[in-house]
Structure 1
Amino acid sequence: MKKLFIATGILFLAMTSCKKYDMPGNTPATNPILANMVRGADVSWITEMEDDGLKFYDTTGKQTDGIQLMKDLNMNAIRLRVWVNPANGYNNLADVTAKAVRANNVGLKLLIDFHYSDSWADPGQQTVPAAWSGLDITALQTSVYNHTHEVLAALKAKGIIPAWVQVGNETNNGMLWPLGKASDHMDNFALLINAGYKAVKEIDSNIKVIVHLSNGFNNELYRWMFDGLTANKASFDVIGMSLYPATSEWQTPNQQCEANMKDMISRYNKEIMICEVGMPATAPVATNYFIRDLYTRINNLPGGKGLGLFYWEPQAYNRWQNYPLGAFDASGKPTFAMDAFR
């Protein structure tokens, strides 16, 4: 997601009552669905937040390591983005490795999210890293392979094998523009995915490779992209989605996302991961019910192909980086939204 958070303003209303969202029989205490699901958080900002002096607290107010806190909140997986050569160093190989070690030390699975850029990659921008500027498509394939292999080899050297790897982030129109722009060069985009896929499988054949798009409610987008990739013989294991509904309107996007997930399974026989979700930190009740409802829909997918979901930067509090869709309050404590993972 890049972030809408600069421009979103916050036209969202805080939800103070759960009466509208009553879901009998699906309370955190009685819902058995979560046991078999990925319950994840993307916490890529965490080292930058810590270096800025921010701290994290459990619901009793006890200061707790941010990644340990995710484990305590019943998360079982962490997602980390990777940038090639970021200006401030965060999300580079060293930073990602340090965070991955911390997650691994507390028993959390890992999803590595390659942006193949020096900064944000998303539907509005897929900028080639400065070091790769001017390369032709053959050289870009080599760069994708080498970068992917280097990062995963560094993790493997620490005894860490990710469970999942994203080859690209929110690649609604491909990546590494202009040569990998799917609307112009779907064949090139497939080649780039295959370069990343090859590197991942050489590190460990059990790692599942994800191709990730935003707007999980948009079936037309997903059919266009995955029809094109399939026709161009792209290799991938999981279809990844993002879903960021408006506070008062999450039921319809959830229904549309469920229909899209079912269609993807029917058409391509792939597993589904919701790689990013979020709603306003000011609406914890609505967010809680949004997540729980979405888990029910993922659980009901045919063939057990629904894997689970990741909340995007839930620990981002007090409008960190102007981002309003975290799930912690202004004092650095998790809100009721996070109870959806218990």
Structure 2
Amino acid sequence: MVRAICAALWVMALLGAPAQAGDRLPVRGADISSLAKSEDLGGVYRQADGRRGDALRILKRAGLTHVRLKVWVDPADGYNDKAHVLEIARRAHKLGLKTLIDFHYSDRWADPAHQTKPAAWADLPFDRLVQAVRDHTYDVLSALRRQGTPADMVQIGNELNGGLLWPDGRWDNWPGIAALLNAGHDAVKQVSHRTKVVIHLANGADNGLYRWWFDNAATHGIRYDVIGLSYYPYWHGTIEAFQANITDVATRYGKPVLLAETAYPFTTADKDGWENIILSPEPYPGYQATPQGQQAMIAKLYDVLREVPGALGLVYWEATWTGVPGNGWDPEDPASGNAWENQALFDFADRALPGLATLGAG
């Protein structure tokens, strides 16, 4: 018992006490990876009163601290590449917004079901694949540093439940996973020791997954600073299970934790003719698919995070991905649509929703 109490006190000293009710968490962010393409295709963003404005400026005025930008290696549509990341980072920096860079190590979406190598890396032997991860990571981050916009945090991979760069870094090859992730980690630290490295998994209420993954990470010497979680309430289990898992993860591994992805619908309607991924009028019990329901869910998740020692905050996924024709989910198909526009933080008249102010209040 004495040993357990001492261990708990050590973790509290390392991570800090939970935030108090009303405290603003240090990370109040939004993934805006779709923004550059949206703007190029005529996307418009307005303040809550309808006045047109710059999307980043609207986010900053709402109280956001960070923007998250994904990086693809050679995307078919040319977006989410280094050039676009640099441009958005410049704009964000001018407004005082920090960046979380999200390396997918793919030419398209990487997630628990897809961890496909970039075409240019597909046939590389393992040692050269490790070097490609190191070089790509260093190239993007050093370019950000040179332009005066160094990354605040960096994800080495995206939703790594089953590893990355399959099959070399698949879940059944932990030495391969470790070599690839540590190559990315070391490239981040070579550019800037201040930049925090995030390891990011999905299914944020699945404690068995997180213990299996991060116990293996410890066994195989994977280096990182922050544990990132995706938690979508309508997919990943109850809020109570999420709270139990993120609290366990923070204390068990002694690392700060970040809710790196979440979202919630403000309507069941569709704007672009492409069926939305969430259609239920009440996707999670007690939280309707309305502007008020979306706002209440964001507030509830902040309440959870304030109870967790070492919780950094929340990043809302694709806040600016509105229903702009041509800005669909498939970079290889200009005719594809957006199944997510009913979960953006801008409504179908392009006005900032109440949830954005709640996100910024933190």
TM-score (norm 2): 0.82
Q: Distance in 2 between matches of 1:37 and 1:64?
A: 25
Q: Which residue in 1 is equivalent to 2:220?
A: 232
Q: Distance in 1 between matches of 2:266 and 2:208?
A: 30
Give how far 1:136 is off: 2.2
Q: Which residue in 2 is equivalent to 1:257?
A: 242
Question: Helix, strand or coil for the counterpart of 2:101?
Answer: strand
CA-to-partner distance for each residue in 1:53-103, whole Å, 9 max, x for gaps?
A: 111000111111111111011111100000001111101010110011111
Give how far 1:31 is off: 6.2
Question: Helix, strand or coil for the counterpart of 1:138?
Answer: helix
CA-to-partner distance for each residue in 1:291-342, whole Å, 9 max, x for gaps?
A: 112112212212xx10001111112223762223212210111112223123
Alignment of 1:1-342 (within 5 A): 32-34=22-24, 36-182=25-171, 184-246=172-234, 253-282=238-267, 283=289, 284-302=291-309, 305-318=310-323, 321-323=338-340, 324-341=342-359, 342=361
Q: Give ranges in structure 2 of 5+ residues lacking alignment.
A: 1-19, 268-288, 328-337
Q: Distance in 2 between matches of 1:118 and 1:232?
A: 27
Q: Distance in 1 between matches of 2:109 and 2:266?
A: 22
Q: Contact between 1:318 and 1:331, CA under 8 Å: does it hold in 2?
A: no
TM-score (norm 1): 0.86
Question: Helix, strand or coil for the counterpart of 1:33?
Answer: coil
Q: Distance in 1 between matches of 2:151 and 2:62?
A: 21
Question: Helix, strand or coil for the counterpart of 1:124?
Answer: coil
Q: Distance in 1 between matches of 2:69 and 2:147?
A: 16
Q: Which residue in 2 is equivalent to 1:20?
A: none
Q: Contact between 2:59 and 2:356, CA under 8 Å: does it hold in 1?
A: no
Q: Contact between 1:116 and 1:168, CA under 8 Å: does it hold in 2?
A: yes
Q: Contact between 1:315 and 1:332, CA under 8 Å: does it hold in 2?
A: no
Q: Contact between 1:317 and 1:331, CA under 8 Å: does it hold in 2?
A: no
Q: Distance in 2 between matches of 1:289 and 1:317?
A: 21
Q: Contact between 2:71 and 2:102, CA under 8 Å: does it hold in 1?
A: yes
Give how far 1:233 is off: 0.5
CA-to-partner distance for each residue in 1:162-189, whole Å, 9 max, x for gaps?
A: 110000001110000011102x101111
Q: Distance in 2 between matches of 1:281 and 1:52?
A: 23
Q: Distance in 2 between matches of 1:218 and 1:136?
A: 34
Structure 1 vs Structure 2: percent identity of aligned residues? 40
Measured on the aligned residues, the alpha-carbon RMSD in Å equals 1.6
Q: Distance in 1 between matches of 2:357 and 2:226?
A: 27
Query: By percentage of residues, which structure has more helix?
Result: 1
Question: Helix, strand or coil for the counterpart of 1:117?
Answer: coil
Q: Which stretch of structure 1 is more off in the superposition, 276-285 or 58-67?
A: 276-285
Q: Contact between 2:266 and 2:293, CA under 8 Å: does it hold in 1?
A: no
Q: Contact between 1:281 and 1:328, CA under 8 Å: does it hold in 2?
A: no
